[in-house]
Chains A and B, each alone.
Chain A
Amino acid sequence: MSDKSYDRQEESFRLLQALSGVDPELLQRSEKQAPERKKIIQFANKYGALCAACLLCVVLGSVYFGVLEKTKESGMNEAVPFSMDAVSGETQNGLQEGMVEEADEELPQDAGAFLVEAASAVDWMISADATRQEANSVDSSSVKNKLEKLTTQVCSGQEETQDGYAREFAFSKLEGCEEASGQDALGDGSLVYSWYRDGALVCYVRVLSLDSTSIEKLCEIGQVLAKDMEAQWLSKLPAADEAGLRHFALSIGDGTVAEYYGYLSQEEIRTLFE
């Protein structure tokens, strides 16, 4: 140890000795132990940062998936404006392709009326066949919402219009099915037919009258299928969903459109509309 270092230690030692004269009160005070912090505070001090990071991840994850869900939903709303696609869950044969763009095009007022009616028809059918609806996974209310949304776009605030009374339509007989004759069940002039097999409802067809211009326009944009002699419309039918439910609108001639909603096979549908 050098002299200088030794001297400094000596001086330090004196200072240390001088500390012996410290006020006893201060010494007494320093004797007190600090109260033990609550365990929760200790835990927070130890793992606080980790907990905060986890919480942040959860919040960010929720926000992310929330936004993703929202985006998906809105994307679906925009991409599938009409019920057929929503019911089938698929886009087939280009029927719905370009619907969004085309739906924004100016449509005849009668087309808007049709869509309003279509929405109310779906609503009615949904409530009438509640049991069957539970069995399948179709979100019918969203179908209805989409119809109403599109209808609003098309009608542009116009009052709902009706297009006169639908004519009776003679459907071909379906084997093993019992047909209930057309009724103006909705009170809007359209006729609703229903078919039962072994007492269970298998389909509805709603027949309504529209002017030919509207029908042409709707056919052009793929909202309504046009019945032809070669039965090519059958190839354009939307696919049935997992529960076998299918929904489409078919122009059956003479300004009449049939809106189908049911569980029949493609062959049975062909027979029905022959």
Chain B
Amino acid sequence: MLDTAIIDLYFARNEQAIAETQATYGKYCYQIAWNVLRDSEDSDECVNDTWFRAWNSIPPTRPARLSVYLGTITRNLSLDRWKSRKAARRNNGEIPVVLDEIAEVIPDKSSVEDEVEAARLEELINRFLHELPEKDCNVFLRRYWYLEEYGEIAKRYHMNLNTVKSSIHRTRGKLREYLEKEGVTI
């Protein structure tokens, strides 16, 4: 079913909307949750919570891209769940690895919370990503938005694994430079 039709069901408060959403985007959202949590039960719960959030937010919201809208909800829920679990151990999902990697971007003696508001950071990151070459941007988002493994990214874009790794490494460096240049010392 087309996004517009599904959204119309939401607006009509038709519960079929959730079934259609599940059929169309269930796998997609589950994959996002799984990448964060690496736990099928938690992932399922996150996906179900996503449908619940969507049911509550549409209307009034009319998402331009339903997939991204739902994916963002799933991602945020998954991150929150991961954080709330406070059981982040090594080898428990990609989160610890990703956090280690992204920590390179953060200079010492600073704090995100102290230096910049989240909205400002979002804006800068968006601008930065728009300036990136499409391929680098895609690879970066697959890694840090979808939290996909390097191998998956390489397979998706038919790239060499090392190429993916070096691309991500370069982009992290660029992001750090960019944020510092913008006066953001996270």
Contact = CB atoms under 8 A, between A and B. Distances in A.
A9 B99 contact: yes
Does more than half of chain B's interface fall in helix, strand or loop, or is it mixed?
helix
A16 B76 contact: no
A7 to B, nearest CB: 7
A187 interface: no
A34 to B, nearest CB: 4
Contacts of B64: 24
B23 interface: no
B130 A20 contact: no
B25 to A, nearest CB: 12
Interface residues of A, number: 29
Contact of A11 (B75, B83, B88, B103): B103
12 contacts: A8-B103, A11-B186, A12-B99, A13-B99, A16-B79, A16-B102, A18-B122, A21-B123, A22-B125, A23-B126, A23-B130, A26-B130
B145 A27 contact: yes
B129 A37 contact: no
Nearest first, the 3 closest Cβ-Cβ pairs linking A and B are A21-B122, A24-B68, A30-B138
Contacts of B9: none
A27 B125 contact: no
Nearest to B145: A19
A19 B146 CA distance: 10
Query: Taking chain A's interface residues, is the majority helix, strand, or loop, or is none over half, making it mixed?
Result: helix
Contact of A15 (B65, B76, B102): B102
Given A12-B102, A27-B145, A30-B145, 14 more contacts: A9-B88, A12-B98, A14-B118, A16-B144, A18-B121, A18-B125, A19-B122, A19-B125, A23-B129, A23-B130, A28-B65, A29-B137, A30-B141, A30-B146
B41 interface: no
A106 B130 CA distance: 87
A9 B103 contact: yes
Contacts, number: 114
B158 A26 contact: no
Contacts of A21: 118-119, 122-123, 125-126
B67 interface: yes
Contact-residue bracket for chain B: 35 or more
B112 to A, nearest CB: 4
Contact of A26 (B76, B121, B137): B137
Contact of B129 (A17, A26, A31, A34): A26
**Of A21, A29, A30, A37, most B-chain CB atoms within 10 Å:** A30
Interface in B35-80: 64-65, 67-69, 71-72, 75-76, 79
B141 A17 contact: no
B142 A30 contact: yes
A33 interface: yes
Nearest to B160: A45
Contacts of A27: 65, 68, 71, 141, 145
Contacts of B119: 21
B111 interface: yes
A36 B158 CA distance: 7
B142 A17 contact: no
A28 to B, nearest CB: 6
B118 A7 contact: no
